Structure 1
Amino acid sequence: MPFPKKVLLVVNPIAGDVDKTELIENIESKAKSQGFDLAVYRTDGENDRQAIEQSLQDFQPDRVLVAGGDGTINQIADILQGKPVTMGLLPLGSANGLATNLGISGDWQESVEVALGEHISCLDGMMINGHLGLHLSDLGLNARLVKNYEEGEVRGKWGYAKEVIRTLSEHDLFRVRITTDTETVETDATIVILANATMYGTGVVINPEGNLCDGKFEVIVATRFDIIELAKLIAGATELDPEVVRTFCTTHAEIECLEQQALFQIDGEFMGPVDRVKAHILPNMLSVAVPAVTEGVK
């Protein structure tokens, strides 16, 4: 793909709690030296979708750079799906799940080079209960961890480790019926994962067979709290006890909570308790700039 001629930079000013001035100035300098037109939009939480859609219509960029966390990236991906525009990621959030899966550095200077570069990959999405999901969503154990971390007072790795211990002590089983393209299964579960990608933003590989642009996603269910198998799952092991961890590859899935609601999160955003989740794949919904080594990334 040729170098972009028109670039829209969407910046979330509060993402990552860092000043974005240097980043914006760097991209403005590149626009002057490399000869592309640049427009900058700063989100403010007030009618951002309408304003960005208007910018796309008026400016007609061929590349949209997104400086923010997974929430901002999901919002822009939802706007861009199906449009002939490539998205470039400048990950500035706390987890940066999609960027991690694409091998995009958390160093903004490196990510700018990738976001403006010529290496492009397709990206599937998942429509989950009416919301766009790009990498990993789940019911149960990890969703409780997301909730606990959001409510906790300590940030960073220490805060996360603290909430892992707390979450494991609070775990419980819930009964689900899982329907995929090929089968229906009823089972107890401690976690049910809808996985388009391979890993969480922390770098933990949860779905070694995941592929971001194969037109399918995986449903992974741990049927009981087995600390050894959960540790193997978290470590990215491929040889798991089928009596504890099961994986289904599919294009559609429905998870029904049969006896009680389960906590649910989409790409790191806590969505609250649910009694049913419906998901389907959105194949090749978007093109995204990637590092050369991950072009055509799994």
Structure 2
Amino acid sequence: MIFLFAINPVSGGTTKSNWEDAIKEHFKSLSHKIHLLQLDGKTDAETIRQQIDQYKPDCVVAVGGDGTLKIVAEQLLTKKGVTLGVLPAGSANGMARELAIPADVGGSLAVLTEGKQKKVDVIKINDNDICLHLGDIGLNAQLVKHYEQNNLRGKLGYLRSVIKVLRKTRLLRVSINVGDTCVSRAAFMVVLANARMYGTGAVINPDGDLSDGQFEVVIFRQLSFGEILKLFWRFKPFDPKKIEILPATSVTIETQRKAYFQVDGEYCGRITSLKASVEPGALTMLVPNA
């Protein structure tokens, strides 16, 4: 097999020299061929496409967080027979966590050579973007924006962003069309959930499945302490009057005012409408055998 590693050198705020050394060491005694590509954050999509055309890899591996994984995934949607791997080297590794890929270097490398293939759905957004994991409008997207602008990284930077956003947050008036159902809600945020949980471990879509041919629209109507606890400790189902979950294969969402929007941990600006639909089994990923 031929592996192409797309390495984001700055994801997670740390250098990737340890990951690069571990990759070379892991494959040293194996018959597979490897190519290491350093991303620059400017021409990543074009460079990845060129490298795929040049080396004809069987698997392209994203070495970074959810943003890096998304960039690589976008280039593989039209590449039949090429699998997608991930080494979770970012500050947010929600998709890797969802797929039970080990967080350590050795464990995640083992998945590449000993794991199995899994078909994964993709959410197509506005015909020009995709979501692998979770996208949302409102509170969390505003948090992502502040976190990106924050000079502090890690848990301290995240906490600072949470405090800043909660001071300013206010309800959105949204109209949501799912199939034949149309609902109007006042909500703190609306989530397009292909997966079950955020990288923090907060489970916002407990019955989510990356391979079930649908996604869920999760509407946070109230922010109560009890419901927030359920995000981390699943004692019982959400109260639908506070957190409402709608299964969907397609959805149209409109907001009365411009709202913050993020996809897979990347802030995308402010919007007043979006359309989304599922692309079943659009990607093939390497996951643990167990």
Q: TM-score normalized by structure 2?
A: 0.92
- Mapped to 2, the partners of 1:48 and 1:274 lie a distance apart of 25
Task: Determine if the alignment matches structure 1 residue 273 to structure 2 residue 262.
Answer: no
Distance 1:213 1:30, change over 3 A: same
Deviation at residue 165 of structure 1 after TM alignment: 2.9
Give the total of aligned pairs. Answer: 288
Residue equivalent to 2:173:
175
1:173 to partner: Cα distance: 0.6
**Partners of 1:206 and 1:235 within 8 A in 2:** no
State whether structure 2 residue 104 is matched by structure 1 residue 122: no
Q: Distance in 1 between matches of 2:180 and 2:280?
A: 19
Q: How does 1:53-72 map to 2 (within 5 A)?
A: 53-72=49-68
Name the counterpart of 1:93.
90
Matched residues in 1 for 2:2 and 2:71: separation? 20
CA distance in 1, matches of 2:14, 2:191: 31
CA distance in 2, matches of 1:234, 1:172: 23
Cα 1:25–1:276 change in 2 (3 A) is same
- Residue ranges of structure 1 left out of the alignment (5+ in a row): 294-298
What letter is aligned with 2:262? Q
Return the letter of the residue paired with 1:128.
Answer: I
Cα distance between partner residues in 2 of 1:142 and 1:280? 21
- C-alpha change, 1:11 and 1:73, in structure 2 (3 Å) is same
- Mapped contact 1:208–1:238 kept (Cα < 8 A): no
Alignment of 1:19-34 (within 5 A): 19-34=15-30
Q: Check conservation: 2:202, 2:231, Cα contact below 8 A.
A: no
Deviates more, 1:153-162 or 1:209-218: 153-162
Q: Deviations over 1:216-263 (max 9, x none)?
A: 0000102234443344346456522222221110110111002x1111
Identity over aligned pairs, percent: 39
Q: Is the contact between residue 114 and residue 291 of structure 1 (CA under 8 Å) also seen in structure 2?
A: yes
Of 68, 74, 81 in structure 2, the residue corresponding to residue 78 of structure 1 is 74
Q: Does structure 2 retain, via aligned residues, the 8 Å contact 1:193–1:220?
A: yes
Q: Take 1:191 and 1:283, find their aligned partners in 2: how far apart are those partners?
A: 25
The Cα of 1:36 is off from its aligned counterpart by 1.2
Q: What pairs with 1:1-298 in structure 2 (closer than 5 Å)?
A: 5-82=1-78, 83-129=80-126, 130-233=128-231, 235-236=233-234, 238-258=236-256, 260-293=257-290
Counterparts of 1:226 and 1:24, CA distance in 2: 44
- Alpha-carbon distance in 1 for matches of 2:260, 2:40: 29
Change (3 A) 1:256 1:235: farther
Cα distance, 1:153 vs. partner? 3.4
Residues in 2 aligned to 1:138 and 1:234: alpha-carbon distance in whole angstroms: 19
* Cα contact 1:101–1:197 (8 A) shared by 2: yes
RMSD: 1.8
Query: Separation in 1 of the partners of 2:47 and 2:274?
Result: 31
Residues 34-61 of structure 1, C-alpha deviation per residue, up to 9 Å, x if partnerless?
1112222111234332222222222111
Q: How big is the shift at 1:23?
A: 2.6
What is the CA–CA distance in structure 2 between the aligned matches of 1:194 and 1:7, rounded to whole Å? Answer: 31
Residue 52 of structure 2 aligns to a residue whose secondary structure is helix
Distance 1:245 1:32 in 2: 50
Q: One-letter code of the match for 1:97?
A: G
Determine if contact 1:125/1:283 at 8 Å carries over to the other structure.
yes
What residue ranges of structure 2 are gaps of 5+ in the alignment?
Answer: none
CA–CA distance in structure 2, aligned partners of residues 15 and 223 of structure 1: 33
- Compare 279-288 and 239-248 and name the one that shifted more: 239-248
Deviation by residue 1:77-96 (Cα, 9 ceiling, x = unmatched): 01012421111101111111
1:66: Cα distance to partner? 1.5
Inter-partner Cα distance in structure 2 for 1:101 and 1:10: 21
Contact 2:122 2:132 in 1 (8 A): yes
Q: Tell me by how many angstroms 1:126 deviates.
A: 0.8
Match of 1:296 in 2: none
> Cα deviation per residue 1:241-295 (whole Å; 9 max; x = unaligned)?
222221110110111002x1111111111112110121111110111111222xx
Structure 1 residues 146 and 253, CA gap change in structure 2 (3 angstroms) = same
Contact 2:13 2:153 in 1 (8 A): no
The AA in structure 2 aligned to 1:239 is P
Q: Match of 1:106, as an amino acid?
A: A
